[in-house]
Amino acid sequence: MNATTPVIPQADPGAGYRAQKAAIDAAVARALGSGWYILGKEGEAFEAEYAAWQGAARAVGCANGTDALTLALRGLGIGPGATVVTVSHTAVATVAAIEMVGATPLLLDIDPDTYTMDAEELEAVLADPPPGLPPIRAVIPVHIYGQSCDLAPMLAAAQRHGVAVIEDCSQAHGATYAGRKVGNLGQVACYSLYPTKNLGALGDGGVLTTDDTALADRIGAIRQYGWKERYISAEVGVNSRLDELQAAILRVKLQVLDANNARRQAIAAAYDAALAGGRFTPPARRPGCGHVFHQYVLRVDDRAALMARLRAEGVATAIHYPCPVHLQPAYRGRTALGPANCAETARAAEQVMSLPMFPELTDQQVERICAVLRAL
């Protein structure tokens, strides 16, 4: 590579826009011309189309993925006086949402191969909760990097203990567990539609899905001041609405979500082949599950040097995430941890490195990245 060779970015939401520019521009013009900008026909159509794609009875749009989680918790009546179990190896949003509703987070460790919640530790804390915490009312499994958690034992344990399951599918739109799309397995599922996610808006957005129509109605009311009828709050709510522009854009992008996930899988397979027999192990796939590769993550010891070397070869990388939530300044020393003390979480944070992963990577770019990987 020479000084003028452009660096291949790790993510590129602009490429997603350019790939569908004509259709997105037309959708934006339609939304602008409608004269109705919040909770209108585009939002309703997006909710119907997303629910149909997901295979859920209902979808409810909202302002972002963090709010989707708070709305799910509020909708289930979970707030002060409740503990909610999740992981520390996640976007901080998962933990922030728990505290936003006044509940207490309890953070568990991860399985070192798949980076998802340790199912055995979940069973242990549900059977024998750590002392001093309010009762556990919900668990939020995070399907991180595009791969499902080991849901069967988690769902069984949650059911045994009367605990709600709220799936955080923000990185896993379209991932499957035992042949079913994630998001269809708990009480309610939450999805960020942040621009770089597998389904990404061109701004902020979020959505929830559930088969519980009463819960969907309640969440739909809470997202707009608790209104059931205009100007009359039936219960205390918030303002977290999906706007018509984003909904119109998302309707276009939803049409290519499956194809885009297939492209991500093809890129992942190319990386696997390039790494075969070398010093790095491709990411583990949970048997029987469909991984949609929000990220393609390697575990490496010499991360800083390796990232610099890849950068010099024209390949950008990123770290998801460099610091576990419980070690970040806002949370350090005051967030409850499970019995495993998040030891694998801390180790992962020092070793994970994400290769470029977005559907618009060209074959040429993928081949260039593979050539660099083969030479490592």
Residue type, 320: H
- Could you say which of 12, 168, 313, 344 contacts ligand PLP (CB under 6 A)? 168
Hey, is 153 helix, strand or coil? helix
**In the complex, residue closest to ligand PLP by CB:** 65
Residues 5-24 that bind ligand PLP (CB under 6 A): none
Site for ligand PLP contains 321 (CB under 6 A): no
Partners of residue 206 on adjacent β-strands: 62, 192
Of the two residues 182 and 216, which places its CB atom closer to ligand PLP in the complex?
A: 182
**CA 298 – CA 296 distance, rounded (Å):** 7
The structure tokens listed for 307 are 């990232």
Site for ligand PLP contains 90 (CB under 6 A): yes
**CA 45 – CA 214 distance, rounded (Å):** 20
CB 321, min distance to ligand PLP, A: 9
Site for ligand PLP contains 354 (CB under 6 A): no
Residue with tokens 């902020």: 204
Site for ligand PLP contains 64 (CB under 6 A): yes
Judged by CB under 6 A, the stretch of 59-67, 232-240, 302-310, 359-367 that binds ligand PLP is 59-67
**CA 158 – CA 252 distance, rounded (Å):** 37
Judged by CB under 6 A, the stretch of 168-176, 240-248, 274-282, 354-362 that binds ligand PLP is 168-176
**CA 157 – CA 119 distance, rounded (Å):** 9
CB 121, min distance to ligand PLP, A: 19
Judged by CB under 6 A, the stretch of 38-46, 89-97, 107-115, 276-284 that binds ligand PLP is 89-97
Site for ligand PLP contains 142 (CB under 6 A): yes
Q: What angle do CA 160, 164, 169 make, to 5 degrees?
A: 125
Size of the site for ligand PLP (CB under 6 A): 14
- Could you say which of 71, 93, 165, 369 contacts ligand PLP (CB under 6 A)? 93
61 DSSP assignment:
E
Judged by CB under 6 A, the stretch of 24-32, 45-53, 164-172, 232-240 that binds ligand PLP is 164-172
Compute CA distances 254 → 11, 191, 194, 199, 249, whole Å. Answer: 19, 13, 14, 7, 9
Judged by CB under 6 A, the stretch of 167-175, 238-246, 305-313, 339-347 that binds ligand PLP is 167-175
Residues 169-228 that bind ligand PLP (CB under 6 A): 170-171, 192, 194, 206
Find out whether 169 and 72 touch, Cβ atoms under 8 Å. Answer: no
Q: How many helices (H) and strands (E) does the chain have?
A: 13, 15
Find out whether 318 and 297 touch, Cβ atoms under 8 Å. Answer: no
Site for ligand PLP contains 65 (CB under 6 A): yes
φ and ψ of 300, to 5 deg:
-135, 150
Of the two residues 142 and 270, which places its CB atom closer to ligand PLP in the complex?
A: 142
Residue with tokens 């009359």: 232
Site for ligand PLP contains 237 (CB under 6 A): no
Residue with tokens 């399907």: 143
CB 69, min distance to ligand PLP, A: 7
Binding site for ligand PLP (CB under 6 A): 64-66, 90-91, 93-94, 142, 168, 170-171, 192, 194, 206
